[in-house]
Amino acid sequence: MMLDHFGEEELGKTLLDIIENVTESGIKTPDIGGNATTTEVASEICRQLKSL
């Protein structure tokens, strides 16, 4: 991730974990087999980040 390049390895791992959790929960865009919009996916990622 770009965050790793900027020396933010821990934040990069956290973000990647959240993205994987969101995807595994079924919140995915159609190009990867889901039916959520990009906005819906991004909103869920942001929601989980804010809950940390």
Q: How far apart are the C-alpha atoms of 10 and 3, rounded to whole Å?
A: 9
Convert the pLDDT of each residue in 21-35 to its tens digit.
Answer: 999 999 999 999 999
C-alpha–C-alpha distance, residues 33 and 38, integer Å:
13
Q: Which of 27, 29, 21 is nearest to 48 (CA)?
A: 21
Tell me which residue of 11, 1, 39, 45 sits closest to 25, measured CA to CA.
Answer: 45
**What is the overall mean pLDDT for the chain?**
97
pTM: 0.89
In degrees and rounded to multiples of 5, residue 36 shows phi and psi of -85, 155
Q: What per-residue confidence (pLDDT) applies to 1? A: 79
Q: What is the pLDDT of residue 18?
A: 98
